Each structure stands twice: as structure tokens, then as C-alpha cells.
């Protein structure tokens, strides 16, 4: 398992947290959103998922991954 921390702009509320964490779960990853730091810590299996796919899934929800 691999863990990365992504900087994500546009998150502001519990709905944002739920949306991102649910999206990551659907990909087979676990996510922990920190609204204050504007980060998402993602734990995933690198043999089945790429960082690019994780970023794309978050961006598809309307957030900007830096």
C-alpha cells in the first residue's frame, strides 16, 4: 500500500469531505480530508491504481488538485 498527500483547492465543507472520500472509496482507495490544510491523504494499492487516476477522479468532482 502507498500513501500520498495531495493539495486540493475548492474544499470548504462536510459535503466536500464526503464527496471526495466517497469518490476515493469507489476507486478502491481510502482518503482522509483535512479542510484546514486543504489536503487529502490517500492510501491506495499502487499495483491497481495510479496517482493520475486518483487526481482525475477528484478533479471530476469539481476540485482542483495541485
Locate all alpha helices (DSSP H) within the chain, ordered by sequence: 14-27, 51-60
CA angle 48-31-5, nearest 5°?
85
Tens of pLDDT, residue by residue over 10-47, are 999 999 999 999 999 999 999 999 999 999 999 999 99
- Its pTM stands at 0.94
Nearby residues of 32 by Cβ (< 8 Å), 6 or more positions away: 21, 40, 41
Tens of pLDDT, residue by residue over 37-55, are 999 999 999 999 999 999 9
Order of all β-strands in the sheet with 39-44: 30-34, 39-44, 2-9, 64-65
- Domains, the chain, in order of start with CATH, read 2-65 (3.30.70.100)
Amino acid at each position: 500500500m502507498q500513501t500520498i498527500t495531495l493539495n486540493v483547492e475548492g474544499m470548504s465543507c462536510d459535503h466536500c469531505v464526503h464527496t471526495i472520500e466517497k469518490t476515493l472509496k469507489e476507486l478502491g482507495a481510502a482518503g482522509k480530508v483535512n479542510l484546514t490544510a486543504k489536503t487529502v491523504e490517500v492510501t491506495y494499492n499502487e499495483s491497481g491504481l495510479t496517482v493520475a487516476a486518483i487526481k482525475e477522479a477528484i478533479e471530476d468532482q469539481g476540485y482542483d488538485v495541485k
